[in-house]
Amino acid sequence: MQFIDPSTPKEEFGWYSPRLGMHMPIARYGNWGRPLLLFPTAQSDLYDCERFFLIKAVEKFIQEKRISVFCINTINDISWMQRDLPVAEKIRRQALFSGYVEEEVVPHIRRVVGNPNARLGTAGASFGAFHAANAMFRRPDMFDTLIAMSGFYELGDYYLKGHFNDDVYYNNPGWYVPALPESPGLELLRNQSQINIISGQGDYELPDASRRFSAKLAAKGIPHNLDLWGWDVNHDWVWWRRMLPQILGSLQGW
């Protein structure tokens, strides 16, 4: 089965991450256009977005050279999803993963696109939406666009079991965004960013998580688009394949 058109440019690369202590692959679809960093869901890998036809859903944008999509792995399978791992170690690994994105992935993408100051777009569904939002709000100097689908924006007690430290706080957008200081980063979020929070309201969706995070953004004066789809829209790829191209088509400058 072909998951993308054979004419769609695809490149695979990777390197050994000294932070994570493992080889981390990256796939690129397209060779021109605005860079979009796409996070996978939960325990899936970088190729799930291709296997479940999410790349196919935005192939028009790739072939028209409007976007170039970069897919990476998370380390959820050896952090938040590893049941026998102590919570403190899961937290430490999350902080390392954020460092990997900021200090390894973003510089690589900037080199590839030939712009050392490029601000990227980022997107993801489910747990991928959490990672995308965390990337965006931690480093608005690196990211200017967020498409968060069917996500949550706080690692609550289900994951944290009451643990708290700086690594938790600064990797939990629902916690640190309300306390963002007046700064150039906050001004970028307010004036030079496009933030989209999308959720269905059907089975296994968490629309209240999107509503709560939207309220926190509004209280901070951060413009954004809260887009709640219908009660028939459940937590599934079929809807993410509709959401992502719809939002991409609405963005300014993309």
pLDDT at 238: 98
Cβ neighbours around 172 below 10 Å, total: 21
Is there a domain that residue 93 lies in?
Answer: yes
What gap in Å lies between CA 41 and CA 237, rounded to an integer? 10
- CATH number of the domain encompassing residue 88: 3.40.50.1820
Question: Residue type for 141, please?
Answer: D
Give dist(CA 211, CA 217) in Å, integer.
10
Give the pLDDT score at 43: 80
Q: 149 forms bridges with which residues in the sheet?
A: 125, 198
Q: Which two tokens stand for residue 175?
A: 């916690």
Residue 1 lies in a domain: no
Q: For residue 169, tell me if it sits in a domain.
A: yes
Q: Which domain holds residue 166?
A: 10-250
| Mean pLDDT, rounded, of the chain | 97
- Res 138: pLDDT: 98
Instruction: Take residue 243 and report the two structure tokens written for it.
Output: 């959401």
Whether residue 51 is contained in a domain is answered as yes
The answer to whether residue 64 is domain-embedded is yes
pLDDT of residue 44: 87
The answer to whether position 40 is within a domain reads yes
Q: What are phi and psi of 68, to 5 degrees?
A: -130, 120
Tens-digit pLDDT profile for residues 141-155 = 999 999 999 999 999
Tens of pLDDT along the chain (254 residues) come to 789 999 999 999 999 999 999 999 999 999 999 999 999 998 889 999 999 999 999 999 999 999 999 999 999 999 999 999 999 999 999 999 999 999 999 999 999 999 999 999 999 999 999 999 999 999 999 999 999 999 999 999 999 999 999 999 999 999 999 999 999 999 999 999 999 999 999 999 999 999 999 999 999 999 999 999 999 999 999 999 999 999 999 999 99
**The pLDDT value given to residue 23:** 98
| Other C-beta atoms lying within 10 Å of the C-beta of residue 159 | 18
Q: Given this model, what pLDDT does residue 2 score?
A: 81
Residue 170 falls inside a structural domain: yes
Residue 54: the pLDDT is: 97
* HSE toward the beta carbon, residue 125, CA cutoff 13 A: 22
Could you give the number of structural domains in the chain?
1
36 inside domain: yes
DSSP sequence for 175-223: HHGGGPPSSHHHHHHHHS-EEEEEE--STT--HHHHHHHHHHHHHTT--
* Helices and strands in the chain: count of H runs, count of E runs: 12, 8
